[in-house]
Structure 1
Amino acid sequence: MDTFQFHDMSLTWLKGGTTYMDGGAMFGVVPKPLWEKKYPVNEKNQIELPSDPLFIQYKGHNILIEAGLGFGKFTEKQLRNYGVSDQSQVEDDLAQLGILPEEIDLILMTHLHFDHACGLTRWEDDKLVSSFPNAKIYVSDVEWNEMRNPNIRSRNTYWKENWEPVEGQVIPFSNSIEVLDGIEMIHTGGHSDGHSIILFKQNGETIIHMADLMPTHAHQNPLWVLAYDDYPMTSVFAKEKWVNEGLHQNYWFSFYHDAFYRMIKWSEDGKEIVNKMSRTRY
């Protein structure tokens, strides 16, 4: 497992499963000759997209950022359509760290699309139950409302199987919330109406978890937004704001879906990588 010590925060990336999604959809209106220079594509025009939760130990808390694909949550058709090559090993990875699922006490969800939220629940015999029964689950109130009442577009990604078993654990927030000292969730909208980012601040340094506003390092350009985004212009403006702030203030950028990098620091103009943490290839 890849690890990083960020001052008082211990960060470990867990294996949450992998999808292979259409590259054109992941880069929206950007022509393929441009984006394929930055991110490799296979013969089916699919790109590799891990869904690896971030496990953080900080101030006596065991924290998960996102929840991965879970295990056994997909039909054969869904496995094929989403190009799922492997499913979650989160529980096994936690066990290697000496952590039980019951010991996770905080889960921060940037949004609740299936590739982020499937891991919140698991099958126990023939019943779905909470994967982390003692955790408080933070998500924006906009996202939580849409999860339970999806529209004609979003109902394909907001599944009742991922929210009904954890309904009593969810803590919705409006606009922003400081979950702990140095950990702040901020509602941005864009990718979904309730999408949020997360800032980790320690001793004058910041990691920004952009979630699906910047799913991979190749999405740095604010105009390179996903065809999956429900509100693409909101994504553009939100990404422009936070990418500019991050570049000017020397933030680490953290990725949930990047097959090659866990985190990157760019030069102030965004043209060069000045520091990086590569992802171990499994």
Structure 2
Amino acid sequence: METLQIGRARLTWLNGGVTHLDGGAMFGVVPKPLWSKKYPVNEKNQIELRTDPILLQLDGKNFLIDSGIGNGKLTDKQKRNFGVLEESRVEKSLEELGLLPDDMDGILMTHLHFDHACGLTKWERNQLVPVFKNAAIYTSATEWHEMRYPNIRSVNTYWESNWKPVQEQVETYENEKEIVPGLKMFHTGGHSDGHSIIVFEDGDEMFIHMADLMPTHAHQNVLWVLAYDDYPVTSVHQKEQWMKHGYDKEAWYTFYHDAHYRAIKFDSDGEMVKKVERIRYEYK
């Protein structure tokens, strides 16, 4: 498992499973000859997208950034349509680190689409139960409302199975929430109306987790947003703001979906100066 120390924070990428989604949908109006130079694509026009939670250990507490694709939550048809070739091994990853799901203090949910939220619950004795039963689950109030009352479009990604068993654990906020000193969640909208990013600052050290505003390194261009975005113009403006802020601070940018990089540090001109590459494992 890849790790990165940023100030007081230690980040470790867990195995949360993988999807393969349509490359055109993931890059919106950007022509394939442009985006395919930056991110590999297969013969089905799909790109590999990890769903790997980040274990964030900070001030004696254990947090997860998002929860993975889960286990046993998808039908065979959904697995085929979403290109799920591997389900979550989050509990196994935690075990290798000497931890249990019960040791998690908080789950920082950037948003509640199925590929981020399926790992919150699991089947146990024919009923769905929380995976991280001791953790507070943080999400924006807007996202929590959308999760429970989806519209005709969002009903395909906001699933009752992912929220009903954990509703007593959920803590919401309006615009921003400080989880512990230096660690904040900011409601941005864009990808979904309630989408949030995560920002950590400790002196001169900083990381920004843009979540699905910049799901991969190939989405660095502020104009390259997803066809899946509910409010793409909002995504552009939020990316513009937070990319400039991060460049000025020479922040690390961390990824949940990127199949090739776990984190990248950019300089003030937006040029890559450091990187943490994803190690590919063969699982049996």
* Class of the TM-score when normalised by the shorter of the 2 chains: over 0.9
Give the Cα–Cα distance (whole angstroms) in 2 for the partners of residues 245 and 56 of structure 1: 22
- Aligned counterpart, 1:195: 195
Partner of 1:251: 251
Equivalences, count:
281
Tell me the residue number matched to 1:278. Answer: 277
Partner of 1:232: 232
Question: CA offsets, 1:172-205, max 9 Å, x none?
Answer: 1010010101110000000000000000112221
Alignment-derived partner of residue 39 in structure 1: 39
Which stretches in structure 1 are left out of the alignment for 5+ residues?
Answer: none
Structure 2: stretches of 5+ with no match in the other structure: none
Post-superposition shift, 1:58?
1.3
After superposition, give the CA deviation of every residue in 1:25-65 in whole Å (9 maximum; x if it has no partner): 00000000000000000000000000100001111211111
Q: Secondary structure at the match of 2:193?
A: coil
Q: Tell me how far apart the structure 2 counterparts of residues 268 and 11 of structure 1 sit (CA, whole Å).
A: 23
Q: Deviations over 1:70-91 (max 9, x none)?
A: 0010001100000001000000
Amino acid at match of 1:243: M
TM-score w.r.t. length of structure 2 = 0.98
Q: Which residue of 2 aligns with 1:29?
A: 29
1:103 equivalent in structure 2: 103
Q: Percent identity?
A: 63
How far apart are the structure 1 equivalents of 2:43 and 2:260?
19
Q: State the alpha-carbon separation in 1 of the partners of residues 168 and 2 from structure 2.
A: 32
Matches within 5 A, 1:204-219: 204-219=204-219
Code of the residue aligned with 1:99 in structure 2: it is L
Supply the RMSD in Å over aligned alpha carbons: 0.8
Counterpart Cα distance in 2 of 1:267 and 1:205:
13
SS at 1:107 equivalent: strand
Residue correspondence of structure 1 range 32-71 to structure 2 within 5 A:
32-71=32-71
What whole-Å deviation, never above 9, does each CA across 1:215-256 have from its counterpart, x for those lacking one? 000000111000000000010101111111111221111111
Q: Report how far residue 267 of structure 1 moved.
A: 2.9
Q: Deviations over 1:94-117 (max 9, x none)?
A: 011111111111110000000000
Is the 8 Å Cα contact of residues 6 and 206 (structure 2) preserved in structure 1? no
Q: Which residue of 1 aligns with 2:186?
A: 186
Q: Normalising by structure 1, what TM-score?
A: 0.98
Correspondences of 1:124-139 after superposition (within 5 Å) = 124-139=124-139
